[in-house]
Structure 1
């Protein structure tokens, strides 16, 4: 092994991902950089090697095709990158400090995690939290995520999922909302502005207004109009500002209810969610001390929150 040779690790990752995706843009999305940056890294590697790695087609074909020499080298490159990753993971097993990459939805971050994160920082000042907030289910391996909290049915291939909190779904509005005092029965909601939460797919069991109204004994077809928002935190904020009546998720709404920013309507109608919050992480990271500490802290906070 020539240890004096330049080591183009990022360029090798860019090359390998580009071949696997068949494009610089696909590799860029995985590596969280621009397609131009991926192309530049690949060209730099080609210049250092003195040979092309992909066929440059003049026929307008968009999928990258590796050269014969590049294709022969790819198995060794992939094996080497995998071994490097395993080595880094092994080093991380002994670390109690550094950065912990955590993935959560924007609403869960704003309404539950961030108001409590100071308590974790006081317990583990040597660990820095880096939050990845997205409505999409990020690829933990591709994005370097250590642990996260997901809302769903607990089935995510390749990840350990441990139930953290269950919840209930119910309507809420601002105490100063003009129509609030006139709601005598659930059917009265049909004459006001309803705020619809589009952040979770109803196909997996997410409770919609139609579903809640049916559970409350209201006939179908009365919940089609209103405001539609693709962020559960923004749904609650719209209700706080008096924009209408929102269908709240109890975990996200609890602090706003306790502070008097929201009030619950028709508390006698109980509609539990089929979905729940889960702590999720890659099984190969289960022994990381800082991951275990953060996971245990989440469980403690969730238990205290639901008592």
Structure 2
């Protein structure tokens, strides 16, 4: 169901490319045997029929009356990818983007440069938002441009070539500090570990604040077990430390991880992850109507 998050003078709008990607627990978390009595091994986090973890692939628009940011860009359409669920996708992302009524964006922000966060920024190697700066931490780009990054891409398909390098070649890839202010309502929060330049994005509105937590948390099992990093983390120890710090320092704050099941935004409680229903607005977000309201 279409929905968005109401922060008063700011709206955070999910663009959901896949609302139910099922993954074997051992693929992401080697050796994990989910505790079927625990909350993270129940719907909407876990598919009992297949015994697989449930993930969402999504990115976000951060909208105010005078600025629109894109935060991450999912897998994208028509890209050659090794994972079957990512290969040659239809244009789900752009259909959702257009449905919002937004036409121009002021900037694109990449939390990190994994294949499921950059693809829709280009179409046939042409920039989707040719006039917008695309912000990324320099360490992130340098790592994926290195031999170590190239080796990792042999597993996924060379998404740097078709989704990131065209942005650099067009002169629209802008390096920023991991704590940079990237918009009138958005600032980066350092979170290196999952990848060398990984960041979160804090969004502040007149009626609330949300931390777009990216891939610091992939699944609810990491709320229960913060020490558990994925096999895709470049530095698993640092990723776990960032996660522990986030869950401690952001206690009570609304977290919006990229891959949590919809509606995705919520707070960590003793009983698990409590979705922030008070921020959720149902239905299709329409920018011009929202600005005029």
Q: TM-score range by the shorter chain?
A: under 0.3
Alignment TM-score, normalising by the size of structure 1: 0.21
Which has the greater radius of gyration?
1
Larger fraction in helix:
1
Alignment TM-score, normalising by the size of structure 2: 0.22
